Amino acid sequence: MRAVIPTTDGLVLLGEAPEPDPAAEEVLVAVEAYSVNRGETFQLDGHLDRRWAGWRPGKDVAGTVVRAAADGTGPAAGTRVVAHPPAYGWAERVAVPVHSIAELPDSIDAVTAAALPLAGITALRLLRAAGPVAGRRLLITGASGGVGHYVTELAASSGAAVTAVSATPERGARLLDLGASAVVTSTDEVRGPYDIVLESVGGDSMPAALARLAPGGLLVWFGQASRTPVTLDFFDFFKGPAQARIAHFDYTRADTTYADDLTTLVRLVAGGRLHPEIGSVRDWSRTGEVIADIRGRRVRGNAVLTVG
End-to-end C-alpha distance for the chain, whole angstroms: 12
| Calpha distance 12→56 (Å, rounded) | 10
Regions in the chain scoring below 50 on pLDDT? none
Number of Cβ within 10 Å of residue 131's Cβ equals 11
Q: What is the pLDDT of residue 48?
A: 53
What is the pLDDT at residue 53?
A: 72
Instruction: Write down the pLDDT at residue 142.
Output: 87
Please tell me the distance from the alpha carbon of residue 133 to that of residue 124, in angstroms, as a whole number.
Answer: 12
**How many other β-carbons are positioned within 10 Å of the β-carbon of residue 81?**
26
pLDDT of residue 251: 93
* Identity of the residue numbered 13: L
Q: What is the DSSP string of 48-88?
A: S---STT-----EEEEEEEE--TTS-SPPTT-EEEE--SS-
Q: Which amino acid does the sequence have at 190?
A: V
pLDDT of residue 91: 98
Q: Could you read off the pLDDT of 115-158 as tens digits, one per residue?
A: 999 999 999 999 999 999 999 999 999 888 889 999 999 999 99
Q: Looking at residue 46, what is its pLDDT?
A: 72
- CA–CA separation, 47 vs 205, rounded Å? 20
- The predicted pLDDT at position 239 comes to 67
